[in-house]
Amino acid sequence: MKRRPLTWRKLTNQFVKIFSTAAVLLAVGAMLWILYTVACYGFRSMNLSFFMTPTMPYGAVRGGIANALLGSVMITFGAAVLAVPPALCAGIFLAEYKDWKTVSNILRFSANVMMGIPSVLVGLFAYIILVLPTGNFSGFAASVALAIIMFPVIMRTTEDMLGMVPDALRESALALGMTRTRATLCIVCLSARKGLLTGILLSLSRVSGETAPLLFTALFSDGWPKNYFTGPTANMPVLITEYSTNSPFEVMHQAGWGAALVVTVLVLVINLSTRIIFREKKT
Amino acid sequence: MFRYDTAFKWFCLICAGLVGVLMLGFFIQLFISSFSAWREFGLPFLWSREWDPVNDKYGALPSIVGTLSTTVIALVIALPLAFSAALYLVDARPIVGEVLSHSIDLLAAIPSVIYGMWGLFVLAPLMQRYVQPFLSDTLGLGRFSLIGTEFNGFGILTAGLILSIMILPYICAIMRDVFRMTPPMLRESAYGVGCTKWETARDIVLRYGIRGILGGVFIGLGRALGETMAVLFVIGNIMEMPSSIFSGSATIASTLANHFAEAQGLQRSALFALGLVLLVMSFGIQVLAQYYLHATGAKRGEAKG
């Protein structure tokens, strides 16, 4: 065996220790740096009228973000309505009906793979199935795209959460004469409700900052989101993209930072509060 | 009453089947939409260098090279960082470890468009003023054609840097799980025969969890491959073969986001073809990731039972 002097080994160990501390500090530092930048620049455009007035065409000075905020909320909410019920049922199938092992395995596998499919491709897909046939961009198409992203995430967390419910509960429910459906919905899902809610909220927070699919589906408009089903709908992520890359005006960059701050705060608040409130359930 | 039960089961099955249908739908729809591009250019589309909307000639090579090079840079930077960070977090005191783990997880929660903005307004100027001159002139690496002396802050290196920050939390989270999975008995034995912490990590923990770590690497790889917004902001969006890591380029995802709105006819079809290429690439990577993670999952069950 190769001989290694003790000092050398100790030195290497010290070096790795320092390096790994530095790695953690670097990662946390990068996070703080990004948040600090967004907060610093974004805070300057915070005032009431910023939230109350809609966006203006290029060059106009006093535009706000009200319509984009409303549009984003509508799109995300629509996605949740579309994705949550079927995704919960899909999770129930994977967790509760174990008699079709092969089918479950294939579906679980495709859900895992779907989770890693780039969001830009989901946007492309939604464009092909909704925007091309109807001939116009719409907020609804954006909701569908986001729902496709949410679907496998909720499905897998539902399965994991239901898997944690002890079998004794299921058996007692069935022994009392409940049907399988009733036992699943009233006993198993109810006792796992915190976990299910965590999964749904976390996937919502992830999806609400998603930009790439919206470029292909919702696009952007300067008006209020009146035609969610038939026309381009204003939304925050595309607003940020448009204002910071396609505009020469300092005012618009400023508004872009403001919008970025709003989105970041929303996403982080949903994310953090979900983690904190439902923490004990996770372990 | 039991018919009602069967109906519910079938309903659940149909919902679950949606995911499979979607998966297949992706491939089928993208293939149909890109059909005219494949018919026009055939397989050479994959290694043709031209992207010329004026003459309607399209090739995928520049964006494939851009995608791969940014991904490789991101992985090379993120992998050692994620590995050593996970090492630190697993051994740290519980409270410290938990707080730091959560703050690293927060990196994954920040929307990618925010990374893009930060890259555009903060990182790119920094790169132009300090990092790139330092690498190119002070260290004298500009002599090598891979680095080059022409820079403007944007380009493959900047995109790779941002991607590395973005994929770090994903890799780190999986590595943390894998490290925790190592049976304490094995670790303690290693300490018992006099290994230092690093030797234990390298020879015991790493060997034991190598499949899980590979799975984590592939998950990170998949993220980096398909990331759109952060890259779109800083890569420069030039549809040419990149000459060095400072030069502007384009990835498949950024090309899609950038050119799609004004594309017509054959160009649009070529963009769909690019999308199909990206889909196949990330599908393959996800399958590999699942294969390795699944193997560790089975091992985890074994260790518990």
Residues of A in contact with B169 (CB under 8 A): 27
Q: What is the pLDDT of residues B232-256, one digit of tens each?
A: 999 888 888 888 888 888 999 999 9
Answer for the pair A276, A202: CB distance below 8 angstroms, yes or no.
Answer: no
Q: What is the pLDDT of residues A168-222, one digit of tens each?
A: 999 999 999 888 888 888 899 999 988 899 999 999 998 988 999 999 998 888 8
Judged by CB atoms closer than 8 Å, whether chains meet at B4 and A179 is answered as yes
Percent of chain B with pLDDT over 70: 96
Judged by CB atoms closer than 8 Å, whether chains meet at B16 and A93 is answered as yes
pLDDT at residue A121 is higher than 80: yes
Residue A156 lies in a domain: yes
Judged by CB atoms closer than 8 Å, whether chains meet at B15 and A212 is answered as no
Q: What is the pLDDT of residues B180-209, one digit of tens each?
A: 888 889 889 999 998 888 888 888 888 888
What ipTM was reported for this prediction? 0.90
Q: Name the residue facing A28 among B103, B197, B275 (closest C-beta).
A: B103
What is the extent of the structural domain holding A130? 70-235
Question: What's the pLDDT at B300?
Answer: 47
Residues of B in contact with A111 (CB under 8 A): 19
Q: What is the pLDDT of residues B46-83, one digit of tens each?
A: 888 888 888 888 888 999 999 999 999 999 999 999 99
Which helix (H) or strand (E) segment holds residue B73: the answer is helix B61-91
Count Cβ neighbours within 10 Å for each residue of B147-179 and write b for 16 or more, e otherwise.
bbeebebbbbbbbbbbbbbbbbbbbbbbbbbbb
Residue A276 lies in a domain: no
**Alpha-carbon gap: A248 to the closest alpha carbon of chain B (Å):** 13
Q: Is B169 on the interface with A (CB under 8 A)?
A: yes
pLDDT at residue B258 is higher than 60: yes
pLDDT at residue B111 is higher than 60: yes
pLDDT at residue A58 is higher than 80: no
Judged by CB atoms closer than 8 Å, whether chains meet at B278 and A89 is answered as no
Which helix (H) or strand (E) segment holds residue B173: the answer is helix B156-181
Q: What is the pLDDT of residues A63-82, one digit of tens each?
A: 788 889 999 999 999 999 99
Mean pLDDT across chain B, nearest whole number? 87
Which helix (H) or strand (E) segment holds residue B4: the answer is helix B2-33
Q: Is B18 on the interface with A (CB under 8 A)?
A: yes
The span from the first CA to the last CA of chain A, in angstroms, equals 43
> Rounded to two decimals, what is the model's pTM?
0.91
**Alpha-carbon gap: B115 to the closest alpha carbon of chain A (Å):** 7
pLDDT at residue A243 is higher than 90: no
pLDDT at residue A281 is higher than 60: no
CATH: 1.10.3720.10, 3.90.1150.10, 2.40.128.30, 3.90.45.10. Which one for B34-304? 1.10.3720.10
Helix H segments across B110-148? 112-118, 124-126, 132-133
Q: Which residue has the higher pLDDT, B145 or B270?
A: B270
Q: Beta partners for B52?
A: B57
Residues of B in contact with A115 (CB under 8 A): 286
The closest of A57, A30, A31 to A255, measured between CA atoms, is A57
Q: Is B134 on the interface with A (CB under 8 A)?
A: no
Q: What is the mean pLDDT of residues B122-126?
A: 91
Which band of pLDDT confidence, cut at 50, 70 and 90, is reported for residue B146? confident
Residues of A in contact with B199 (CB under 8 A): 9, 13
pLDDT at residue A44 is higher than 80: yes
Q: Which domain CATH number covers A192?
A: 1.10.3720.10
CA distance B15 to B22: 11
Q: What is the mean pLDDT of residues A119-142?
A: 91
Q: What is the DSSP letter of A55?
A: P
